[in-house]
């Protein structure tokens, strides 16, 4: 696979005319939900204006971005009120004017090769053939995509997928750019590069932009306004960022909004003596089919009871692949992963990837990078009953465990909701809850805190620390240095 330099393209990135946005008394209720995700929103954006959209987890930020992209209408099963227009026309009628980059980049990738994926949108828009590939190359370079256009999309890490998804939107040159936590799965260097690219793209194109980002300090200089949404309501605060944070910072932080200079108070791990080994990886390696390099070079790691290990490193270094191998969800192509007697006492040491599902779910719980990959039930509460019931728990015991986790992670009010209608942060908390509902001895998590407001971040950090203190072996793949400092006893840096 050819690598490309991590440098923004020097050629200016063009765009259509910047879009004017107008919302008047606008609201949206998801199908099957009693509560409105948003209601009574009055908001106007002048062409070329850049807005940082804030609010607690579940405040409707992602819903508003989807509406601005023209993806919400009565046909999607929801209910809408008020008016939302782009340049005076309903957003659904002018979808080509907006470009949305989602929290989940995999949802935006449709082709087997990176270049084809970027070209797909251009072809659908009817861009002349002789313009397509120059724009593909320009877009890939502009986001620091590390490989050439022939790179297989199936072999990309989550962060690499995010850069590719952003390239696909940049290539379309929209007049309204909508960014939903686009750096959530990027390593610090990659996130800084993407922010630099976004600044250059916006300066060159003049496009209107709406940015959702919990790393507020890192994007506040990119925007002109900060708009805070009220959960289930309208706009709570609106103005220049310095003014909003100055007059309402303490109140917003108390409600979970990330505010520059204010961080959740979390406990530091006390020195511990690790318990017995539960899982041991020896020279474990993995190469995906059709890939030209190993996703995970030979690596050694032992997980012990009562110890939290953080896996860090740049995108593409094999963090998520190592986690899946240790969780028994990938069979290594090199080396071995073996459960130790303290985890699997009835049988001789054996690799977790050979276990039956029932054996695995009661011993190793896994939080995938994409939370939707874990959902199989039609309600949030039903999701939390699946694992315990499959593991043999009684109806009463499973219900008690489900209700306990719903309360602890702030999901009780959503117990009857469809998991796929939750916000990104709510989906992440549900995915953590499903992984630990069976009380496994090993818990493997991949970016467990992304998409969280300050309050829910603290709740997740405390929950993970409690699991460690209760004797679980905790493996956490993360770019969140604050989480590493809060719970990790040991760090393994890859790459």
pLDDT score for 130:
92
Q: What is the pLDDT of residue 74?
A: 63
Say what the pLDDT of residue 290 is: 72
Q: What pLDDT, on the 0 to 100 scale, is given for residue 176?
A: 96
Gap between the Cα atoms of 428 and 447, Å rounded: 9
Query: What is the C-alpha to C-alpha distance for residues 54 and 248, in angstroms, rounded to an integer?
Result: 13
Q: Could you tell me which residues come within 8 angstroms of residue 47 by beta carbon, excluding any fewer than 6 positions away?
A: 17, 18, 19, 20, 175, 206, 208
CA 214 to each of CA 7, 119, 261, 381: distance values in angstroms, whole numbers, following the listed order = 25, 30, 13, 27
pLDDT of 495 reads 83
Q: What is the pLDDT of residue 30?
A: 87
Name the CA dihedral angle for 140, 146, 152, 157, rounded to a multiple of 10 degrees.
-110
Query: What are the distances in angstroms from CA 184 to CA 125, 268, 353, 425, 446?
Result: 28, 24, 29, 11, 12
CB neighbour list of residue 439: distance below 8 Å, 6 or more residues apart: 362, 401
> What are the C-alpha distances in Å from 384 to residues 132, 361, 476?
46, 13, 21
CA dihedral 72, 75, 79, 81 (to 10 degrees): 70
What pLDDT does residue 11 have? 36
pLDDT score at 13: 47
Work out whether the CA dihedral 387, 391, 393, 395 comes out positive or negative: positive
The tokens of 307 are what? 């110890």
Q: Domain locations in the chain?
A: 21-254, 277-493
Q: Find out whether 186 and 162 touch, Cβ atoms under 8 Å.
A: yes
365, two tokens: 């719980």
Supply the pLDDT for residue 268: 63
Paired strand residues for 301: 281
Q: Tell me what pLDDT residue 369 has.
A: 84
What is the second-level CATH architecture of the domain 21-254? 3-Layer(aba) Sandwich (3.40)
Same fold, 21-254 and 277-493: yes
Q: DSSP secondary structure string, 470-491?
A: TT-EEEEE-S-HHHHHHH-SEE
pLDDT computed for residue 7 by the predictor: 44
pLDDT, tens digit only, all 495 positions of the chain: 334 433 443 334 455 789 999 999 999 998 878 889 999 999 999 999 999 999 998 899 999 999 999 988 766 678 899 999 999 999 999 988 999 988 777 778 899 999 999 999 999 888 999 999 999 998 898 777 888 899 999 878 767 888 898 899 989 989 999 999 888 777 888 788 778 878 888 888 889 999 998 888 888 989 999 999 998 888 999 999 999 999 999 999 999 999 998 888 776 666 667 899 999 999 999 998 877 788 899 999 999 999 999 999 988 889 999 999 999 999 999 999 999 999 987 666 789 999 988 888 889 999 998 888 889 999 999 999 999 998 889 999 999 999 999 999 999 999 999 998 888 889 999 999 999 999 999 999 999 998 899 999 999 999 999 999 999 999 999 999 999 999 999 999 998
Nearest residue to 383 (alpha-carbon basis) of 366, 356, 413, 406: 406
What distance in Å separates the CA atoms of residue 123 and residue 351, rounded to the nearest whole number? 46
Q: Is the dihedral of CA 75, 90, 226, 237 positive or negative?
A: negative
| pTM recorded for the entire structure | 0.84
Query: Which CATH number is 277-493's, of 3.40.1160.10, 3.40.30.10, 3.30.230.70, 3.40.50.300?
Result: 3.40.50.300
């Amino acid at each position: 696979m050819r690598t490309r330099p991590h440098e923004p393209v020097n050629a200016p990135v063009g765009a259509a005319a910047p879009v004017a946005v107008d919302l008047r008394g606008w609201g949206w209720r998801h199908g099957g939900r009693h509560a409105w995700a948003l209601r009574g929103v009055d908001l106007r954006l002048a062409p070329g204006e850049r807005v940082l959209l804030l609010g607690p987890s579940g405040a409707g930020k992602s819903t508003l971005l989807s509406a601005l992209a023209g993806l919400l209408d009565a046909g999607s099963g929801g209910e809408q009120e008020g008016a939302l227009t782009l340049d005076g026309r309903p957003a659904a009628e002018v979808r080509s004017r907006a470009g949305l980059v989602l929290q989940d980049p995999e949802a935006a990738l449709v082709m087997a090769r990176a270049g084809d994926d970027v070209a797909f949108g251009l072809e659908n828009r009817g861009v002349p053939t002789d313009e397509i590939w120059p724009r593909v190359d320009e877009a890939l370079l502009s986001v620091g995509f590390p490989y050439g256009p022939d790179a297989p999309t199936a072999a990309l890490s989550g962060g690499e997928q995010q850069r590719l998804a952003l390239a696909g939107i940049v290539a379309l040159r929209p007049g309204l750019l909508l960014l939903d936590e686009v750096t959530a799965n990027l390593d610090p260097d990659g996130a800084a590069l993407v922010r630099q690219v976004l600044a250059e793209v916006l300066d060159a194109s003049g496009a209107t932009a709406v940015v959702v980002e919990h790393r507020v300090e890192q994007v506040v200089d990119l925007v002109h306004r900060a708009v805070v949404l009220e959960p289930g309501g309208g706009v709570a605060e609106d103005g220049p960022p310095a003014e909003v944070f100055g007059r309402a910072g303490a109140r917003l932080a108390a409600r979970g909004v990330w505010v520059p200079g204010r961080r959740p108070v979390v406990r530091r791990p006390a020195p511990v003596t690790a318990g017995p080994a539960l899982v041991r990886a020896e020279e474990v390696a993995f190469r995906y089919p059709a890939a030209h390099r190993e996703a995970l070079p030979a690596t050694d790691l032992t997980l012990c009871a009562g110890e939290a290990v953080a896996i860090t490193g740049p995108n593409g270094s094999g963090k998520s692949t190592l986690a899946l191998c240790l969780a028994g969800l990938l069979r290594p192509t090199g080396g071995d992963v073996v459960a130790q007697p303290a985890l699997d006492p009835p049988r001789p040491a054996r690799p977790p990837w050979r276990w039956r599902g029932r054996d695995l779910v009661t011993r190793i719980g896994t939080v995938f990078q994409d939370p939707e990959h874990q959902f199989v039930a039609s309600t949030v509460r039903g999701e939390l009953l699946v694992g315990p019931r499959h593991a043999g728990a009684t109806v009463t015991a499973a219900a008690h465990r489900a209700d306990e986790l719903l309360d602890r992670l702030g999901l009780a009010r959503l117990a009857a909701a469809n998991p796929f209608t939750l916000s990104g942060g709510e989906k992440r908390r549900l995915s953590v809850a499903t992984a630990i509902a069976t009380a496994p001895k090993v818990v493997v998590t991949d970016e467990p805190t992304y998409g969280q407001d300050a309050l829910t971040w603290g709740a997740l950090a405390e929950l993970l620390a409690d699991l460690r203190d209760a004797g679980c072996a905790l493996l956490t793949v993360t770019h969140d240095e604050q989480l590493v400092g809060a719970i990790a006893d040991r760090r393994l840096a890859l790459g």
